[in-house]
A = this chain, B = another copy of it.
Amino acid sequence: MARPTPLSGFPELLPGQRAIEAHVLDTLRRTFELHGFAGIETRVVEPLDRLAKGGEIDKEIYVLRRLQAADDQDDSGQASQLGLHFDLTVPFARYVLENAGKLDFPFRRYQIQPAWRGERPQEGRYRQFTQADIDIVGHGELPFHHDVEVMRVMVEALGRLPVPPLSFQLNNRKLIQGFYRGLGLPDLTTAIRVIDKLDKLPPEVVADQLVELAGATPEQAQRCLELATIRVPDTSFVDRVRELGVEDELLETGLAELAAVVEGCAPSAGERVTVEANLRIARGLDYYTGTVVEIFMSGYERLKSVGGGGRYDALADDGKTTYPGVGVSFGVSRTLVPLISDGVLTSSRSVPSAVLVALVDEESRGASDAVATALRARDIACEVAPAPQKFGKQIRYAERRGIPYVWFPPVDGHGGDAHEVKDIRTGDQVVADPATWAPPPEDLTPRISTSVMTKEHP
């Protein structure tokens, strides 16, 4: 069969690159679990009517069909067609409804899985991509402090990743809606939708559209733009908004909530992750009702946001109970695939092995296996050379894979019965005991390096 070529929109990683992704996923997972989030996985398919948003079927969905099934009919007797999920929120909402009687609320969960969209592939947009989501869901109600918690956990988790600096841009829907209402705007929904275009259109055009489409007066439109330009790394936005002279109860709630989230995230923020109040962030999706966030990566603004989320008063509803939630989604593939293909993220080796145990001759494979077994008993990943080539060739075998150490068992009649181990990066070779020797901790797993463009090194 001819050599296959990659499928556009379905990125795959080489082993060393996959080690980077695995490190990132492990780090996220560990942080989520430290905060009590339980990991779940949902099946990858949902009935089409669940995937439909507001009754309309999204055209980017992949639909499944059994190759030999009769046209337009699944032969299992299930009435509805199945499609691949396009995010992790829809299947999570369904999971909560389906298992509500068996879950304990508030329910904290993380979910790291691929999702699929049949859209035109481009950088940061793939047909298969991995997401990492955290959400907290309540039964009937969910206190506001969980907004602070969920944002803080994601700030902490992303702050541990070996990626360029990230920025959490926070806002609050109540703040925007209260401000617009206090201002007397006639059509809040349209106004929010128009303001959301500020990243694509110049301010004058947005102001014109606020007048034409949202029924604002030119003076109101001007105030909306003033609100949208407020962007500060602390709670000083509260005074800035008050200076605009709009009074509204919902606005006050929004200001207090946003201030609490910004303050609550501050201790977990730092150089790797910054937190800002950015009052033009609205997020297009209609179901957000309070806190909203979009996450951007320094030097990769062209990817738009690499994550986002917020508070929704009705993640799910079964007619009797409403399940409010707050969550954030991080685009793992969207973030890592460009960083890896740009060479910003690299791994020191393509295999887990920290040690290659050399092979003197095929007859002594058992002796080399015994060394490997002794090292593994102390959690040191290693492999035995596949063939008894000259030691120079065995060292090159390790070098090609980035394995830092080569272990030499004693050669009968040559050099006594001492084992030796060589750091092939430095050439240092020492006598060692398989039962006690260990590499420095940083050599136990592949080293992930980041070449970040900092201000000092533009």
CB within 8 Å of B: which residues of A? 1-16, 18-19, 22, 33-45, 47-48, 50, 57-69, 76, 78, 82-84, 94-95, 97-100, 102-104, 106, 108-109, 114, 118, 120-121, 128, 143, 145-146, 316-319, 350-353, 362, 365, 376, 379-383, 386-387, 397, 400-401
Contacts and interface: CB of A to CB of B under 8 A. Distances in A.
A76 B9 contact: yes
B104 A350 contact: yes
Q: How many copies does the complex hold?
A: 2
Contact of A2 (B5, B64, B104, B319): B319
A37 B318 CA distance: 46
Among A16, A319, A376, A387, the one with the most B-chain Cβ atoms within 10 Å of its Cβ is: A376
Contacts of A106: 386
A45 B109 contact: no
B4 A38 contact: no
Contacts of A118: 66-67, 69, 76
Which 10 pairs between the two chains have the least Cβ-Cβ distance?
A36-B383, A33-B352, A15-B38, A59-B68, A36-B353, A10-B43, A66-B118, A34-B376, A62-B64, A61-B67
A69 B3 CA distance: 28
B4 A97 contact: yes
A24 B193 CA distance: 47
A59 B67 contact: yes
Contacts of A317: 1
A42 to B, nearest CB: 6
Contacts of A102: 14
A351 B386 contact: no
A50 B319 CA distance: 46
A99 B353 CA distance: 21
Nearest to A74: B118
A64 to B, nearest CB: 5
Contacts of A108: 351, 383
Contact of A37 (B39, B42, B352): B352
Nearest to A120: B76
Contact of A45 (B10, B38, B68): B10
Given A41-B13, A109-B15, A34 B3 contact: no
A42 B12 contact: yes
A39 B66 contact: no
A15 B137 CA distance: 14
Given A34-B381, A36-B352, 7 more contacts: A1-B319, A7-B82, A9-B76, A33-B381, A44-B44, A60-B66, A62-B64
Nearest to A130: B41
Given A37-B352, A66-B62, A97 B3 contact: yes
Given A35-B376, A40-B18, A97 B1 contact: yes
A66 B61 contact: yes
A259 B272 CA distance: 56
Contacts of A58: 67
A104 B66 contact: no
A84 B44 CA distance: 11
Nearest to A8: B76
A146 B109 CA distance: 41
Contacts of A43: 7, 10-12, 128
Contacts of A13: 40-41
B34 A98 contact: no
Contact of A44 (B37, B99, B103, B114): B114
A38 B104 contact: no
12 contacts: A4-B97, A7-B47, A7-B78, A8-B78, A10-B45, A11-B43, A12-B43, A12-B95, A36-B382, A62-B67, A67-B118, A104-B350
A353 B35 CA distance: 7
Contact of A401 (B14, B104, B386): B104
A225 to B, nearest CB: 37
